Amino acid sequence: MPSHTFNVNGKTVTVDAPDDLPLLWALRDLLGVRGPKYGCGIDVCKACTSHLDGEAVRPCVVPVAEAAGREVTTIEGLADGDRLHPVQEAWLEQDVAQCGYCQPGQIMAAVALLKRTKNPTDADIDEIANVCRCGTYFRIREAIKSAAARMA
């Protein structure tokens, strides 16, 4: 069984798994990192959105071998200890979450967007294609704008 060493939320980890095992299952089933959620397995719902070297990716379609030697950040790694990331703070302020299942992915997508664009327009926000089945989109939009203001 091949062995893969990479960094998850600041810690170096090694997992034994087939090269093509999706990173999502390496995280959830082998490493116990369960913030990223399964919603479709084919990069459509984007509930598992996490960062690979700072870029938003969907671990359900990233083979674990591709993570070797790189930095994976999941929702659990976003806060600095007890101090939440400004995007998480904005999510609390707007009371965005309902069932919350998609929100780790929504937050990681928003963080990536704000990294690319300090002041996202409505059109930029529209490009986040993560599904929220509870339909919280308007609060997500308001929270992203609030986070942009906090981070300015």
CB closer to another protein, 13 vs 40: 40
Site for another protein in 24-63 (CB under 8 A): 24-26, 28-30, 32, 34-42, 44-45, 47
Helices (H), the chain: 23-25, 86-94, 103-116, 122-126, 137-151
Helix (H, G, I), strand (E, B) or coil at 105: helix
* Residue that is written with structure tokens 């082998």 in the block: 30
CB closer to another protein, 63 vs 71: 63
- Candidates 52, 62, 102, 114; binder of another protein (CB under 8 A) is 102
CB closer to another protein, 66 vs 76: 76
- For residue 43, give Cα distances in angstroms to 18, 21, 59, 126, 150: 20, 15, 8, 17, 30
Residue 115 beta carbon to another protein: minimum distance, rounded to whole angstroms? 18
- Candidates 54, 70, 99, 119; binder of another protein (CB under 8 A) is 99
* Number of residues written out for the chain: 152
Helices (H), 6-136: 23-25, 86-94, 103-116, 122-126
CB closer to another protein, 70 vs 92: 92
CA–CA dist 141, 63 (Å, integer): 31
**x-or-dash string of contact with another protein, 108-137, rule CB under 8 A:** --------------x--xxxxxxxxxxxxx
Helix (H) or strand (E) holding 28: none
Residues that bind another protein (CB under 8 A): 1, 17-18, 21-22, 24-26, 28-30, 32, 34-42, 44-45, 47, 74-76, 78-79, 84, 88, 91-92, 95-104, 107, 122, 125-141
